[in-house]
């Protein structure tokens, strides 16, 4: 029965680090997208599917919008823009750091002004900023007339999130579900495995190094009779010196990253995981279109 049920695509757009992926995971009650304290964590389109008695919303999380300096960043911003264009509703997520937001917020608004679908505003991280400061910001931003509605939320605590989802369901059109109701994402496990390894690298590495790292899954094979998944992942870096840092003294760093990734992969797959990590230098890959395609950023 699809009678009376709602369905549609909702894009989460905003500058890096405002909490788009945290919000996606919160709304789905599951970890689909990786999250980190560092900006520019998400690099691809991540669809998260929410199905309940009201219908189905496909949330599209993507990279944060920023001024792209390298080919990788240009790919990321293109991806974010495509997400805004393909959705039925575009949600602009902001957080409490408006002081430093200037140019990036202008880029986000430029994209939102060009979409023909309803735009919503969500001011996130109200647990940190306090509600009155957040409300002040919301009221100021609503004045421009760009947004249909505005919300105060905390992706971290969940405050305001149910009301936000409720409003989305009410403005979406009636329609059938796009995906089977038990699906949480359209991403293959192979992609999730790559992201989990990348998340552990983002957490473990400091400064600019995370931005020089790409992960490709060279092998993903399931051996159900043994309850085992074999994963072989290649970590690409841009310079020889970076390879040394990732491997670490006596291989210690790579081992730590591997253990953390394996434990999470075991949780996600419900199987034992045999994970092998290799580090390879692909000189200046993040500036090179051909190399980007080879690393899966197409
Ligand atoms: N205090 C607080 N922190 C939050 C909240 N939502 C997200 N964060 C934190 O903000 C940081 C960035 O969160 P992400 O979800 O990775 O942000 P993003 O917008 O997906 O970032 P990119 O993928 O880099 O564009 C992480 O350290 C989160 O834990 C929130 O509601 N409150
Ligand atoms: Mg993200």
CA distance 66 to 72: 12
Domain boundary among 171, 199, 221: 171
Of ligand 1's listed atoms, the one at least distance from the Cα of 124 is 31
Instruction: Say how many Å lie between the CA of residue 39 and the centre of ligand 1.
Output: 9
Give one DSSP letter per residue of 183-209, joined into a string.
-SBS--HHHHHHHHHHHHHHHHS-TTG
Count of structural domains, the chain: 2
Does 228 fall in a domain?
yes
CA of 223 to the centre of ligand 1 (A): 36
- Is residue 246 within 8 A of residue 233, CB to CB? The reply is no
Q: How far does the centroid of ligand 2 lie from the alpha carbon of residue 224, in Å?
A: 32
Structure confidence at residue 111 (pLDDT)? 96
Please indicate, yes or no, whether residues 146 and 225 belong to a single structural domain of this protein. Answer: no
Range of the domain at 210: 189-294
pTM of this prediction exceeds 0.75: yes
Tokens encoding 77: 């911003």
One domain for residues 226 and 160: no
Q: How far apart are CA 189 and CA 187, in angstroms?
A: 7
CA-proximal residue: ligand 1, atom 2 (nearest): 125
Ligand nearest the Cα of residue 40 is: 1
Same domain, 83 and 229: no
Can you give the CATH number for the domain in which 92 is found? 3.40.50.300
Assess whether 228 and 278 both reside in one domain.
Answer: yes
* Best mutation site among 16, 35, 153 for ligand 1 pocket (most ligand atoms within 8 Å of CB): 35
pLDDT reported for residue 239: 97
Q: What CATH number does the domain containing 222 carry?
A: 3.30.300.20
236 CB-side CA count, 13 A: 17
Give the pLDDT score at 2.
64
Q: Does residue 129 form part of some domain?
A: yes
Q: How far apart are CA 141 and CA 92, in angstroms?
A: 11
Q: Any idea which ligand is nearest the CA of 22? A: 1
The mean pLDDT values, 10 residues at a time, for the chain of 298 residues are 87 97 97 95 98 98 96 97 97 85 89 96 96 94 95 98 98 97 96 97 94 98 96 98 97 98 96 98 97 94
27 and 124 inside one domain: yes
Claim to verify: residue 44 and residue 147 sit in the same structural domain: yes
Closest CA to 17 of 41, 33, 34: 41
Neighbours of 196 (CB within 10 A): 24
State residue 67's pLDDT score: 95
Same domain? 158 vs 204 = no
The last residue of a domain, from among 171, 199, 223: 171
Compute, in angstroms, the gap from residue 36 CA to the centroid of ligand 1.
7
Q: Which of 171, 198, 228 is the last residue of a domain?
A: 171
Residues 64 and 119 in one domain: yes
Q: Is residue 58 part of a domain?
A: yes
In a domain, 184, yes or no: no
Q: Ligand 1 centre from 160 Cα, in Å? A: 16
* Protein residue with its CA nearest to atom 14 in ligand 1: 19
Instruction: Please give the number of the atom of ligand 1 that sits closest to the Cα of 18.
Output: 19
| Domain co-membership, 15 together with 147 | yes
Q: Quote the pLDDT of residue 3.
A: 77
Q: In the prediction, which pLDDT does 33 show?
A: 97
Residue 167 makes CB contacts below 8 A (sequence gap 6+) with: 120, 149, 151
Residues with CB under 6 A from ligand 1: 16-22, 35-37, 39-42, 63-64, 124-125, 127-128, 154-156
Question: Would you call 90 helix, strand, or coil by DSSP?
Answer: strand
Output the pLDDT for position 99.
62
Q: Are both 136 and 11 inside the same structural domain?
A: yes
Q: Does residue 177 sit within a domain?
A: no
Structure tokens at 190: 């192979």
Residue 180 lies in a domain: no
Write the DSSP symbol of residue 14: -
Place of tokens 């730590």: 256
Residue 240 falls within a domain, yes or no?
A: yes
């Amino acid at each position: 029965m699809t009678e009376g049920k709602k369905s549609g695509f909702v894009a989460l757009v905003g500058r890096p680090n405002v909490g788009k992926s945290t919000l996606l995971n919160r709304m789905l009650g599951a970890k689909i997208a990786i999250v980190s304290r560092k900006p520019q964590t998400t690099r691809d389109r991540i669809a998260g599917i929410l199905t309940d008695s009201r219908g189905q919303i496909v949330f599209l999380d993507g990279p944060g919008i920023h001024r792209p300096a390298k080919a990788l960043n240009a790919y990321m911003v293109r991806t974010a823009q495509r997400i805004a264009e393909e959705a039925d509703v575009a949600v602009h997520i902001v957080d409490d750091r408006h002081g430093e937001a200037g140019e990036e917020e202008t880029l986000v608004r430029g994209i939102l002004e060009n979409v023909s679908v309803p735009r919503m505003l969500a001011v996130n991280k109200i647990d940190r900023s306090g509600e009155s400061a957040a409300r002040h910001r919301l009221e100021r931003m609503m004045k421009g007339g760009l947004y249909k509605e505005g919300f105060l939320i905390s992706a971290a605590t969940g405050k305001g999130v149910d009301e936000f989802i409720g409003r989305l369901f009410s403005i979406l059109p009636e329609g059938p579900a796009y995906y089977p109701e038990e699906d949480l994402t359209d991403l293959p496990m192979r992609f999730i495995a790559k992201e989990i390894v990348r998340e552990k690298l983002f957490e473990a590495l400091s400064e600019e190094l995370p931005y020089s790292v790409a992960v490709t899954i060279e092998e993903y094979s399931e051996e159900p009779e043994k309850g085992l998944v074999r994963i072989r992942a290649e970590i690409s870096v841009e310079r020889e010196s970076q390879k040394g840092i990732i491997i670490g003294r006596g291989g210690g760093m790579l081992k730590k990253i591997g253990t953390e990734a394996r434990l999470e992969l075991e949780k996600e797959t419900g199987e034992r995981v045999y994970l092998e990590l290799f580090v390879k230098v692909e000189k200046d890959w993040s500036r090179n279109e051909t190399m980007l395609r080879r690393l899966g950023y197409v």
